[in-house]
């Protein structure tokens, strides 16, 4: 009970891990490709939460200007936006050819 009353870095890490696992479940089990891409965004959000929590922890050791985790999180946000745009472009190109957004029907390379 005492561990639940004092918020430490570990609480944020557990939250980030749970979010990561939910994103992985979404990627692995959903049928709609757009929702798979949204679950990838959930995974990246979990990573960002870890980075920001560690940045706060790093500030407690190396002084209040040690913002490396937050800078890393800025770059992760940038990359996630770029990847979402390109991924959705690929999705649209695929949809134009096959008229479906189900992962079950992406089976052209199946033996």
Partner 1 sequence: MDFTLILFYAFGALLLGSALLVVLVRNPVHSALFLVLAFVTAAGLWLLLYAEFLAITLVLVYVGAVMVLFLFVVMLVNPRTVRTDKTFQHQWDVALLLFPILLIPFVYVLWTDKLPDLPVNPAAFQTVRGKLAGNTEAVAWSLFRDYLLPFEIASLLLLVAVVGSVVMAKKRI
**Site for partner 1, residues 80 to 99, rule: CB under 8 A:** 80-86, 88-93, 95-96
Which of 1, 2, 5, 109 forms a contact with partner 1 (CB under 8 A)?
A: 5
**Least Cβ distance, residue 93 to partner 1 (angstroms):** 5
- For 13, residues 6+ apart whose C-beta sits below 8 A from its C-beta are 50, 53
Can residue 58 be called a binding residue for partner 1 (CB under 8 A)?
no
* CB contact at 8 A, 32 and 101: yes
State which H helix or E strand residue 63 sits in.
Answer: none
In the complex with partner 1, the residue whose CB is nearer, 73 or 108, is 73
Can residue 104 be called a binding residue for partner 1 (CB under 8 A)?
yes
Can residue 57 be called a binding residue for partner 1 (CB under 8 A)?
yes
* CB contact at 8 A, 33 and 98: no
Can residue 48 be called a binding residue for partner 1 (CB under 8 A)?
yes
**Least Cβ distance, residue 47 to partner 1 (angstroms):** 11
Distance CA 65, CA 43 (A): 27
Q: What angle do CA 22, 59, 81 make, to 5 degrees?
A: 40
In the complex with partner 1, the residue whose CB is nearer, 65 or 108, is 65
């Amino acid at each position: 009970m005492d561990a639940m009353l004092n918020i430490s870095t570990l609480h944020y890490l557990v939250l980030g891990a749970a979010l990561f696992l939910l994103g992985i479940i979404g990627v692995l089990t959903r049928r709609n490709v757009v929702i798979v891409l949204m679950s990838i965004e959930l995974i990246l959000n979990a990573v960002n939460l870890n980075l920001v929590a560690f940045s706060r922890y790093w500030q407690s050791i190396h002084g209040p200007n040690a913002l490396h985790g937050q800078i890393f999180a800025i770059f992760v946000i940038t990359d996630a936006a770029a990847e979402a745009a390109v991924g959705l472009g690929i999705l649209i190109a695929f949809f134009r050819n096959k008229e479906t957004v189900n992962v079950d029907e992406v089976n052209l390379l199946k033996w």
